[in-house]
Amino acid sequence: MRIYERYTDAELAEMGLSGDRPKHVGIIMDGNGRWAKQRLMPRSFGHRAGMEALHEIVREAHCLGIKTLTVYAFSTENWRRPIAEVNALFGLLTEYFEKEIDELDANGVRIVALGDLEPFPQKVKACMVDAIERTKNNEGLNFCIAINYGSRAEIVSAIKRIVDSGIPSAQIGEELVSDSLYTSGQPELDLIIRTAGEQRLSNFLLWQAAYAEFVFTPVCWPDFDTAEFRRCIAEFMKRTRRFGKVVE
Ligand code: FPP
């Protein structure tokens, strides 16, 4: 089991990452299928390689002092994929938690699910619920896994919760809506990285992305390594964020 060490200031300076790094990074892990196809392998081979890439990126996020990492693992639209691929993804999710939970927990990682776990097979649901329960008091990296997640569904569920609570419309503001989303309590989303060259959000963190920066990389997710992750963070750090204001 590996114990993750935070990078020292000197190490961060050497990487060109001194300064304000993002607190919350979202990643659309795209390109597993294309990566596998290029190798004349089934799509599930790409997803397995993607799971291995994720292991390194979670560790790196911790070492860089990122507070929240949110990854898009399974969208509300992914149910439309062939059943064999959906089952392969469920198998990988279960395997991931069985293999990683001790290391994640030992390193203070807190696992959070964004999405409705109800429709998942019992085994997948149980291992996610166990991981969430076991790590809920950890204070290190918040590792949010968007699973059966769709941003529109998230916003609809937030609206329903607010309406059901009977809060008068005059009291509904942005803060209440934010607090009613799955990401309630997480820092503002600073950066969205999408791999494999596509430049769209695909129903990921629509509300939260209001002032996020976007970095697109042509690298397919299974090849997305710590060097590429750092490059994306460095690109974010070069941006001037104005949040609608004028910066002198
Ligand atoms: C998108 O690539 C990727 C997914 C829909 C699934 C992401 C899953 C993993 C990285 C592996 C397991 C995850 C966990 C949390 C253990 P795609 O299949 O759409 O690629 P393509 O666009 O090239 O076809």
pLDDT digits (tens, 9 = 90+) for 181-204: 999 999 999 999 999 999 999 999
- Give 34-83 pLDDT, tens digit per residue: 999 999 999 999 999 999 999 999 999 999 999 999 999 999 999 999 99
Query: Active site includes 203?
Result: no
Helix (H, G, I), strand (E, B) or coil at 70: strand
Whether the per-residue pLDDT at 153 is higher than 80: the answer is yes
Report if residue 42 sits inside a domain: yes
Q: For the chain, how many structural domains are there in total?
A: 1
Nearest to 70 by CA among 174, 156, 185, 157: 185
- Give 89-108 pLDDT, tens digit per residue: 999 999 999 999 999 999 99
Report if residue 169 sits inside a domain: no
- Give 211-224 pLDDT, tens digit per residue: 999 999 999 999 99
Ligand 1, atom nearest to 47 Cα: 11
Query: Active site includes 9?
Result: no
Helix (H, G, I), strand (E, B) or coil at 222: helix
Whether the per-residue pLDDT at 8 is higher than 80: the answer is yes
Report if residue 120 sits inside a domain: yes
Quickly count: other Cβ atoms within 10 Å of residue 170's Cβ: 6
Using a pLDDT cut of 70, give the percent of the chain over it.
100
34 lines ligand 1 (CB under 6 A): yes
Tell me the residue range of the domain where 93 lies.
20-150+188-238
145 lines ligand 1 (CB under 6 A): yes
Residue at token pair 């292991």: 55
Q: How confident is the model at residue 174 (pLDDT cuts 50, 70, 90)?
A: very high
Report if residue 156 sits inside a domain: no
Q: What is the CATH number of the domain that holds 127?
A: 3.40.1180.10
pLDDT, averaged across the chain:
96
- Hey, whose CA ends up nearest to atom 5 of ligand 1? 74
Report if residue 107 sits inside a domain: yes
Whether the per-residue pLDDT at 247 is higher than 80: the answer is no
Report if residue 8 sits inside a domain: no
Report if residue 164 sits inside a domain: no
Strands (E), the chain: 24-28, 68-75, 110-114, 142-149, 191-194, 213-216
Report if residue 5 sits inside a domain: no
Whether the per-residue pLDDT at 248 is higher than 80: the answer is no
32 lines ligand 1 (CB under 6 A): yes
